[in-house]
Amino acid sequence: MNNKKIILASASPRRNQLLQMLGLDFKAVKPQIDEEFHTCLSVDENLYNITKSKALYVKENNNLANCIIISADTIVLLEHKILTKPADTSDAFNMLKSLSGNWHEVVTGVYVTDADTCKQIYKSKTTKVKFRNLTDDEIKSYISTGEADDKAGSYGIQGLGSIFVESIEGCYYNVVGLPLVLLETMLKHFNISIL
């Protein structure tokens, strides 16, 4: 087992809970970076740039050494249109309305790096999700709970948003924000074993 500290470059309570669930001893540090998507780049290129920027920001602004840094970013794709976090309640309503009755894809990019050696691995995971048909009143009620505010696609599958999900193909935890099977295989490259 590696004796390096683990740093989660994220302010996401969901990712925090998932690492706790795995029994990892880690510290969460919030990165402050621009998470803007550039249309001239692919989804994977955007996710790579954002996750790498998160990890580098945390490393450079916290004088970190002897640690492994994990960062992740999640987006929702509906017919190749990127749905990130909603700008406001109107944006959230429009996103949820567009997801109603349709399949969409949730893509999470995961970046792991060693702060000392600069060894890095980036991978992404895609999960397909089908929403049931939603009424306008249901969408408005959901938005009023505040759960949509900081979530890609304006919903959280681990919360009240779960009642919108009719079907899922792929990794559930990927939709929450961190594909655990993928992360576990990536950590092995840094001599960190979950079990």
Looking at the annotation, which residues are catalytic? 73
User: The tokens of 162 are what?
Assistant: 């779960």
Token couple for 92: 């959230």
What number of helices (H) and strands (E) belong to the chain?
6, 7
Neighbour-count burial for 10-42, b at 16+ CB within 10 Å, e otherwise:
bebebbbebbeeeeeebebbebebeeeeeeeee
Of 26, 33, 30, which is closest to residue 9 (Cα–Cα)? 30
